[in-house]
Amino acid sequence: MHEAPEKGHQVLQGRTPRSGHGTEALLSVVSLSDPWEDGEREAFEASASEVVMVAPLLRVVGESGRRRLVVGRVRVTATGQERPRVALALQAAWSEAGGWHEETGPVPAADDALIASLAEPAHRIDGDTARVAVTMAKAFAEASRNDVLRLRGLRYELERGIADQLAGRSDTALRPLLAAAVELATAVGRARDQAVEAARSGLWVWLWHEAVYRADLPHREEPPSGSDLPEWAATYRAGVRHCEAMDAELAEEASRLHSLLNSMSTFAIAQGSEAQDRFTLVVGVGASVVALPALVLSLYGAAPFLPMDSFDRAWRALLPIGMTALAAALMAIRWMPGRASARHYGATAAVIVALLSVLLLAGVLVPG
């Protein structure tokens, strides 16, 4: 695993800093060598810290068109009077630039947008070492749950793009939208894995306080008395509940995205069939536009009008041809799948004018 150097940053003070909220922490970014690496016990032992708490990390940061979706864990360690340490253990990141895709290569240092996201939600950070670490972990778990709403917003944008594409309000192809849905479904799945593991492991509090972890197990027979637990146990439970709620909300998002993928697959099949129908119709119209004028000319002959060195000869020869081609093209547009637009009529008129121009030029250049 690779770890970037630690730097001091203010966290949990609020987007607009609030007096008495937040604390300064030593922030670092950890690149996991294996996407499924756990390593929490090893990281705790290597840190020589008194306490450790691990919360799920889900962030959607950046401006529209250049957003990043980051999934991983937040490790909070604290010792004595030292500043707490916050390590962002990144599992995966997706970038919107050039279409949603998972980033490859080594994980870069935390950018300004990701660091700024650690300011919310504002919390008062005070008390002993254990209370500080537990409060920070609860706040980071709450922030990840809050970002599910931003992730849902990405799905709404995707659904709007699909609707615009199907209604003909957008020229965006269906394939990039389908790829984006697959990428977002993968991101949701990985974020849910982190939420499930954090809830199951009790934010990894068992590494240093097994009594609190066992007291919060769903299958415990008798709840312990309040005097048996530290006063920060309620904050710890709130953090676990945020992880459980995050899991439930992400499960709903995963279901919606998979339903959307199934619908998009049906759309793609229908679109392919429609494209084939359009191609067949265009080929038929092209054949009609060429064959019908030839049939007209074969019926009455073109010799009396050649060469077309006068307006009278030109309009007598080209009018029947133009009317026949126009009738065939308009019937094709009328029967074309989908809704005909002004662009279709304009293209049809241009093709007919081009055909008549070629015939006129040939008629003028033919020898007398």
Instruction: State how far the Cα of 102 lies from the Cα of 69, in Å rounded to an integer.
Output: 9
pLDDT digits (tens, 9 = 90+) for 315-326: 777 777 777 777
Q: What pLDDT is recorded for position 269?
A: 66
CA 112 to chain CA centroid, nearest Å: 21
Contacts of 340 (CB under 8 A, 6+ apart): 333, 334
Band (pLDDT 50/70/90 cuts) for residue 365 is: low
Instruction: State how far the Cα of 87 lies from the Cα of 39, in Å rounded to an integer.
Output: 13
Band (pLDDT 50/70/90 cuts) for residue 368 is: low
Instruction: State how far the Cα of 289 lies from the Cα of 352, in Å rounded to an integer.
Output: 8
Q: What pLDDT is recorded for position 163?
A: 86
Q: What pLDDT is recorded for position 220?
A: 46
Query: In sequence order, what E strands does the chain have?
Result: 2-3, 7-11, 23-31, 51-61, 68-78, 85-95, 101-102
Q: Which percentage of the chain shows pLDDT scores above 90?
A: 42
Q: Average pLDDT, stretch 21-50?
A: 78
pLDDT digits (tens, 9 = 90+) for 265-314: 776 666 666 667 666 766 666 666 666 666 666 766 666 666 666 777 77
Contacts of 9 (CB under 8 A, 6+ apart): 24, 25, 27, 86, 115, 118
pLDDT digits (tens, 9 = 90+) for 77-136: 998 888 999 999 898 899 999 889 998 876 655 688 999 999 999 999 998 999 999 999
